[in-house]
Structure 1
């Protein structure tokens, strides 16, 4: 047994959707440090380019920024073609892209919530993931190997506690729970479907990250976790590297929960 080799991602080609976001950018840096060639894919192409340039300068790697709309098949096809032209393979897909909805609608009651926003969330959080898995899954089937990590949430496992949002009137939208819950069984389906094809599919379910929210919200959220705090933005990198590497070689169809104990009591 060689523990360093278990977590080594040298020359692995890893696609991260939503790669320019708060957590996506953290995953990109961690995976780069582990040796991977990272494809940073996001609708925000300028941010992708900045992140890729930074990683290449610091770690002397060969990352690739790509403008990607996961709800658009042509956009996904274009990304895959560029990756295969440059690297000739795709080892890992991290379906990290998701939306939490228009902030202006966070105070809207469920009874009055617009159907258009519900539909938009389904398009990104579920259909976009479906399309990425479908296209990149074809590549992995031909390769006879690959790893897919679908990102869910604690709110895909348990209902959000609306009480922690306080007098702000903010609340967690119904579509977020519905889509993130759907991710869990979509993962199990794919793990079962690609059984025997050399493709492993797992879910990561992270908890909330502290990012300048109201003090009262952070206090109430923290009180609901066993560790007594929200996550730092870099605290899911270890889980991502574990799921992407051979360290998780006997794991498929599973859900890795990293939430400070939120869902454990």
Structure 2
């Protein structure tokens, strides 16, 4: 058994949504470092294009930038058609895109939360994942192989501790919690549905990332983790590579939690 070979993604085509985000850029770099040709799908095409040039030069891979609205079926269908025309396959799908809640939106009281905003969050966090899984999953079934990773949050498992957030605007909305929670059973359903097809699907559940938040908030948050701090931006990439590669070949329908021990108390 060659451990390095098990985690090797050389020549694999990885479709990454939300590629231009804070974690998306980390995932794209790690996947490229593992040898993958990463499809950088995001509304921010300019940022993806800059990343494409950087990754190609640094890792000698073939990244592909794609402007795509994950809440729009036509945009997804057109984007995937372009990818298939270029690569003729998709080996891995990472459903990483998430609705970008603003601090103002996070401060809205639940009793006054607008239905329009609720629907917008669902359109990205749930419907977008459904559309990508449906379209790309169908391709993987025909290939008789593929790995799908649905990115969730610890707040899909447990309630946000409102005491550490106050009125900071750093909290997530109820819509975020509901959408992220839904991914667990969606993953299990598809794992069962696509059994014996060669398609594996798992959830990767993440904790909070340190990103220049207020020091008081960071301290309060860190006290609730067993490791005693927030995650660094690159600390989820190892788990992602594991789930994307043959290293996790006997794993499907599962949820891998990387939250510093937050949900294990």
Give 3-state SS (helix, strand or coil) of 1:171's partner: coil
SS in 1 for 2:66: strand
Measured against aligned partners, the alpha-carbon deviations of 1:61-102 in whole angstroms (never above 9, x if no partner) come to 110010010111111111111111111100000000012523
Does the C-alpha gap of structure 1 residues 216 and 166 become closer, same or farther in structure 2, counting only changes over 3 Å?
farther
8 Å contact kept, 2:187–2:202: yes
TM-score normalised by the chain length of structure 2? 0.98
Q: Per the alignment, in what secondary structure is the counterpart of residue 89 of structure 2? A: coil
Residue of structure 2 in register with 1:43 after alignment: 43
Q: Corresponding residue for 2:90?
A: 90
Superposed CA deviations along residues 163-206 of structure 1, whole A, max 9, x for unmatched, are 11135365321001100000111100110100011100000001
Q: How many residues in Structure 1 have an aligned counterpart in Structure 2?
A: 265
The answer to whether 1:62 aligns with 2:62 is yes
Instruction: Find out whether 1:209 has 2:209 as its counterpart.
Output: yes
> Equivalent residue for 1:240?
240
Structure 1 counterpart of 2:251: 251
Residue number in structure 1 paired with 2:5: 5
Q: Which string of whole-angstrom CA distances, capped at 9 and with x for unpartnered residues, describes residues 197-254 of structure 1?
A: 1100000001000001111111111000000000000000000000000000010000
Q: For structure 1, which runs of at least 5 residues remain unmatched after alignment?
A: none
* Gap regions ≥5 residues in structure 2: none
> What TM-score, normalized to structure 1?
0.98
CA distance in structure 2 between the partners assigned to 1:168 and 1:191 by the alignment? 38
Instruction: Kindly indicate whether residue 127 of structure 2 is the aligned counterpart of residue 127 of structure 1.
Output: yes
Following the alignment from structure 2 to structure 1, what is the Cα–Cα distance between the partners of residues 238 and 25?
Answer: 14
**Is the 1:100–1:176 contact (alpha carbons within 8 Å) kept by the matching residues of 2?**
no
User: For 1:102-130, what per-residue CA distance to the aligned partner results, in whole angstroms no more than 9, with x for missing partners?
Assistant: 32122111111111111101100000000
Specify whether residues 125 and 167 from structure 1 end up closer, same or farther in structure 2 by C-alpha distance, changes over 3 A only.
closer
Distance 1:9 1:178, change over 3 A: same
Displacement after TM superposition at 1:141 (Å):
1.0
1:224 maps onto 2:221 in alignment: no
CA deviation map 1:138-173 (0-9, x unaligned): 111111111100000000000000111135365321
Residue aligning to 2:79: 79
Is 2:195 the partner of 1:163? no
CA contact (8 A) 1:40 1:65 kept: yes
Aligned to 1:101: 101
When residues 124 and 198 of structure 1 are mapped into structure 2, their CA distance, relative to the original with a 3 A threshold, is same
Query: Could you tell me how far apart the structure 2 residues matched to 1:135 and 1:71 are?
Result: 13
Task: List aligned pairs for 1:183-202, cutoff 5 A.
Answer: 183-202=183-202
